Amino acid sequence: MDNNNKLVAVLLMFFSSFLLMRLSTAAYNYNVVNFGAKPDGRTDSTKAFLGAWQAACRSAASVTVTVPRGSFLLKPVEFRGPCRSRITFQIYGTIVAPSDYRGLGNSGYWILFVKVNRISINGGTLDARGASFWACRKSGKSCPAGARSMTFNWANDVVITGLTSINSQVTHLVINSCNNVVVRKVKLVAPDQSPNTDGLHVQASAGVTVTDSTFQTGDDCISIGPGTRNLYMSKLNCGPGHGISIGSLGRDANEAGVQNITLVNSVFTGSDNGVRIKTWARQSTGFVRNVLFQNLIMKNAQNPIIVDQNYCPNHQGCRKQGSGVKITQVVYRNIQGSSRTQQALTFDCSRSNPCQAIRLHDIKLTFNGRSATSTCKNIKGVKAGVVMPQGCL
C-alpha cells in the first residue's frame, strides 16, 4: 500500500470513529426541541418535555435531557421515576410558567420530580411569573393555593447546580423525603414583599448540602421542616428575606425531630431574621438537637439570633400551653455585625421544656453602632469569649 492509500485509510478510520461517536452522543442526548418544544415562550411545550423525559427514563445508559437557549412555556408537569440510569437536565434557556397564574392550577406544584434517583439539574432559569398570583393573594380574593416552582419528592442522589429561579408563586425549591442532595451555586429571587416565597424548603430528608448560593426572597431564605437531619449549609447570602429558620415545628402532636444542622460562613443582609428556631406553643413529640451556627455576619439584620417557642398565629389551638418541642445542644459561635432591632438576641423558650445546653461563644452584635440588648426566658447553657449583648446565660 502506497503512502497516499495509507493516508486515505487513516482518514476513513478517523471519520468513521468520529461519526460513531457523534451518533452515540446523539443517542444519549435528548433535546426537547426534537420532541416538539418551541423556544418562543408562547407555545405549550409540556408534552415535548414529557416525551424527552420518558425516552431518557427508559435508557439503560446515562443520558442528558437538553433544554437549549430560548424561552419554553411549561404547564404543571410531573417527571416520575424510577428510571433505569442517571439523568442530567442541562438547561441553557429559560422555562416559563403560563402568564395567567391560574394556569398552574391547584396541584401545589409546577415542576415536580417523583421517585427519581441519580438526577442532576444544571444551569438555566425558571420564571414562574408569580406577580399576578401575589396580587390575587393581597386582594383578598379567592385564589389557588399557589405552586412551588421545583419540587423533589422521594428522590435520592440529586445534584442541583447553577439554577436560577425567579418570581415563584410560593416556595422556589422543595426537597421532601429525599436522601443525598447537593444544592450549589443557585440563585432564588423574588421581591421582598412577595408572600410566602420561601427560597428553599427541606423536610423529612437526610444528607442535604447547600453551598455557594444566594437567596433574595419574600419569606424564609431557607426553611427547615420536621424530619430533617444531617443538613450542611455554607457560603450563603441571605437577604432580603426572613432569614434561615428551623421551623416552624411542633404543629402536630406526633412529629419527627430535626437534628445535626450546620450553617457556617454565611452573610445576612437586611433580612427580617438571622438564624431562627420557631416552634408552635402546643404539645408535640418534636425536637431540635445538635445545631451549629458559626462564622456568620449580620448586616442590618432584624433579630439576628432568635428562638421563638410561643408561635401561635391567630391563637390556633394553643390553649396557653408551652411548646413540647425540646431544643438542646445548639451552638452559636463567632456571629458578628449589626442588628436592625435594638434587641439582637432573643431566647423565648418553652416554659414546659426549657432550651438546654445552649452555647454562646464570641457574639458581637450592635445596634446603630451602640450596644444592643437581649432577652432570655427558660434557657440553660454556657457562654464563652466575648458575648455582646450581655444578659443571657
Judge residue 130's burial from the number of C-beta atoms within 10 Å of its C-beta, 0-12 exposed, 13-18 middle, 19 or more buried: buried
Cell of 150: 421545583
Residue 211, classed as helix, strand or coil, is: strand
Active site residues: 242
84 to each of 53, 61, 87, 123, how far by Cα in Å?
12, 8, 9, 23
Give whole-number Cα distances, 297 to 43, 77, 276, in Å. 45, 39, 15
Q: Is 251 helix (H, G, I), strand (E, B) or coil?
A: coil
Order of strands, sheet of 77-80, starting from the edge strand that comes earlier in the sequence: 77-80, 109-114, 148-153, 173-176, 200-203, 222-224, 244-249, 275-280, 305-311, 343-348, 373-377
> CB within 8 A of 388, min separation 6: which ones?
363, 364, 365, 366, 371, 372
Q: How far apart are CA 243 and CA 306, in angstroms?
A: 10
Phi/psi of residue 176, each to 5°? -130, 120
Q: How far is 246 from 240, CA to CA, in rounded Å?
A: 18
**Coil, helix or strand for 48?**
helix
